């Protein structure tokens, strides 16, 4: 009942009530959201935000590759950006809508003989999620290539985005990234191909449902530390520390978010007890735990 007027005002924009958030994140866990909205264009996204901001609690989900969503779900509105996938190139500037996958951005970059984002090829992220988290690997971050970011509130230069390790001004804010412009440089197709092959060869993501690194590598390698305290392969319920890489938690069939949450808690306690290191989460908790 609470959302009837909103759904009417949204008109032809796709919505789903009581939607399982397990469908929108990589662990495949979490409860239902009251309402999920799937805008198809920048105009629709701006209209959605105008209708809900200040009136309903809301949260934006991109690829759901860095989220642990509460089993209790969410009493509010989720904006799914998965249909906002437009990418444009003008000169050396590539502009991508927030829901475009990094993989597609890199493909478009290469097809137009531009270089700069090769390092990000294996990060399973949308542009919005990657910018919000300042995703990165191999000593490089998405912020290195950002020219400006447009949200529902304003357009920000790179400096104004306050990027730092796995952080930006957009994290925990209620601004929605609409699109991002990246600065690239012209390069030969074959050179780009070689760099992509090299970065792909570095990447060995563990098998099974996971949300990437659970903890930040903040001056140490969290996976190495977890391994050293003897937790590789340790489980709580159906959540298991990967035997391939101890900074990854695998959600086995039947896992709940609470299993993952309790496993994270136990890892932190043991690492602190044996190493006096406070591991900090890279994954984001969403909802009530
Ligand atoms: C196998 C695997 C490997 C990974 N490897 C890496 C890696 O090498 N490096 C790395 O940095 N990360 C890595 N990750 C983690 C993850 O891919 C990144 O954190 C990524 O940036 C998350 O993007 P997403 O679109 O999935 O965001 P989500 O998980 O959907 O969201 C993450 C955060 O971004 C916010 N957000 C999403 N879209 C928007 C928007 N349009 N506007 C405002 N806020 C938004 C969300 O609200 C949330 O706070 C890996 C994950 C997996 C599963």
Q: What is the CATH number of the domain that holds 190?
A: 3.30.465.10
Cα–Cα distance measured from residue 210 to residue 25, given in angstroms and rounded to the nearest whole number: 9
- Residues 188 and 281 reside in one and the same domain: no
pLDDT at residue 80 in the model: 98
In a domain, 105, yes or no: yes
Q: Whose CA is nearest to atom 11 of ligand 1?
A: 135
Query: Of 211, 213, 242, 257, which residue is the catalytic one?
Result: 213
Are residue 54 and residue 22 in the same domain, yes or no? yes
Per-residue pLDDT at 133 exceeds 90: yes
183 & 231 share domain: no
Assigned token pair, 144: 């290195």
124 has pLDDT over 90: yes
pLDDT band at 207 (very low <50, low <70, confident <90, very high): very high
The pLDDT confidence band at residue 145, using thresholds 50, 70 and 90, is very high
Residue ID of nearest Cα to ligand 1 atom 9: 136
Residues 238 and 164 in one domain: no
Residue 180 CB less than 6 A away from ligand 1: no
Q: How many domains does the chain have?
A: 3
pLDDT at residue 166 greater than cutoff 80: yes
Ligand 1 centroid to Cα of residue 225, in Å, is: 23
73 and 172 both lie in a single domain: no
Shared domain check, 119 and 24: no
- 214 lies in a domain? no
Q: Whole-angstrom Cα distance, residue 65 to residue 118?
A: 19
Q: Would you give the distance in Å from CA 32 to the centre of its chain?
A: 19
pLDDT above 90 (res 167): yes
Please indicate whether residue 213 is annotated as part of the active site. yes
Predicted local confidence at residue 205, as pLDDT: 85
Pair (194, 265) in one structural domain: no
Among 24, 51, 80, the domain boundary falls at 80
CATH for 37: 3.30.43.10
Read off φ and ψ for residue 145, nearest 5 degrees: -115, -5
From 202, 237, 263, give the residue that closes a domain.
Answer: 202
Confidence of residue 289 (pLDDT cuts 50, 70, 90): very high
Computed over every residue of the chain, the mean pLDDT equals 96
Domain that holds residue 251: 222-286
Token readout for 196 is 């992509």
Same domain, 45 and 92: no
**What is the CA(67)–ligand 1 centre distance, in A?**
8
pLDDT at 1 over 90: no
What average pLDDT does range 104-122 have in this prediction?
A: 96
Question: Is residue 97 domain-shared with residue 190, that is, in the same domain?
Answer: yes
Q: Which of 28-37, 147-156, 201-210 has the least mean pLDDT? A: 201-210
Give the pLDDT mean for 73-81.
98
User: Is 107 labeled as catalytic in the residue annotation?
Assistant: no
Tell me, what's the pLDDT at 219?
87
Q: What does the pLDDT look like over 253-279, one tens digit per residue?
A: 999 999 999 999 999 999 999 999 999
Q: Which of 80, 112, 146 is the last residue of a domain?
A: 80
């Amino acid at each position: 009942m609470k959302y009837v007027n909103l759904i009417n005002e949204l008109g032809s924009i796709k919505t789903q009530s009581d939607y399982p958030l397990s469908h929108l994140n990589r662990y495949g866990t979490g409860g239902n959201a009251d309402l999920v909205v799937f805008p198809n264009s920048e105009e629709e996204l701006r209209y959605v935000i105008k209708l809900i901001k200040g009136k309903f609690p809301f949260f934006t989900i991109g690829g759901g590759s860095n989220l642990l969503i509460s089993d209790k779900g969410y009493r509010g509105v989720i904006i799914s950006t998965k249909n906002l996938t437009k990418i444009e190139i003008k000169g050396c500037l590539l502009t991508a809508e927030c829901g475009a996958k990094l993989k597609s951005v890199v493909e478009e970059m290469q097809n137009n003989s531009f270089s700069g984002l090769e390092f990000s090829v294996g990060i399973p992220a949308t542009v919005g999620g990657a910018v919000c988290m300042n995703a990165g690997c191999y000593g490089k971050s998405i912020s290195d290539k950002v020219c400006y970011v447009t949200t529902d509130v304003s357009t920000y230069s790179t400096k104004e985005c306050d990027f730092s390790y796995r952080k930006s001004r957009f994290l925990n804010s209620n601004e929605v990234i609409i699109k991002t412009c990246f600065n690239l440089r012209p390069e030969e197709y074959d050179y780009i191909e070689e760099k992509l092959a090299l970065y792909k060869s570095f990447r060995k993501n563990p098998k099974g449902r996971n949300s990437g690194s659970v903890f930040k590598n903040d001056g140490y390698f969290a996976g190495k530390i977890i391994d050293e305290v003897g937790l590789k392969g340790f489980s709580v319920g159906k959540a298991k520390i990967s035997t391939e890489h101890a900074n990854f938690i695998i959600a086995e069939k039947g896992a709940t978010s609470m299993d993952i949450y309790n496993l994270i808690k136990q890892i932190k306690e043991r690492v602190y007890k044996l190493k006096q290191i406070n591991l900090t989460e890279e994954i984001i908790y969403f909802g009530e735990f």
